[in-house]
Amino acid sequence: MATSEQEFNQQVIGEFRANEGRVGGQFEGAPVLLLHHTGAKSGARRVSPLMYQTVGDSYAVFASNAGQATHPAWYHNLLAHPSTSIEVGPATIDVSARVADEEERASIWDRQKQRYPGFADYEAGTTRQIPVVLLEPTTPTG
């Protein structure tokens, strides 16, 4: 199954880059970014397409892992290597990742569930609290 997930991600990444950040399928019309991350153990460079929400100048991403019992690998990778970059539309932005504190998380997570009810389904499918990660630009944008 990992291969099909990798193939799916590669297809989304290719479509994203060919269309300045726009993708179709299940992500059509949704805000999607490409998160670059470094393997916590392997040191391998990886790219993951993720839905996001803007929060001020930052980008919130959600470690839902489709409601599975464990956090996604990219979450662990960001904890180990928080300095990274993202692709948003045609731009590449250097960011620093941090887990939102409980107060920040509450409003961001509620807004995400309202906008995209699938996230509420993910939450219902697991006993863990789904982390919200803020990707904060480290270089001026604009």
Average pLDDT over residues 105-110: 98
Taken in order of first residue, the domains within the chain and their CATH numbers are 2-137 (2.30.110.10)
Give the C-alpha separation, 127 to 119, whole Å.
14
For the record, the structure tokens of 129 come out as: 């609290």
Instruction: Provide the pLDDT for residue 26.
Output: 85
Encoded amino acid at 121, one letter: D
Closest CA to 91 of 134, 132, 139, 37: 139
pLDDT in tens, 22-36: 999 888 999 999 999
Model confidence band, residue 142 (pLDDT cutoffs 50, 70, 90): low
**Predicted confidence (pLDDT) at residue 1 exceeds the cutoff of 80:** no
pLDDT in tens, 44-103: 999 999 999 999 999 999 999 999 999 999 999 999 999 999 999 999 999 999 999 999
Instruction: Provide the pLDDT for residue 141.
Output: 54
The length of the chain is: 142
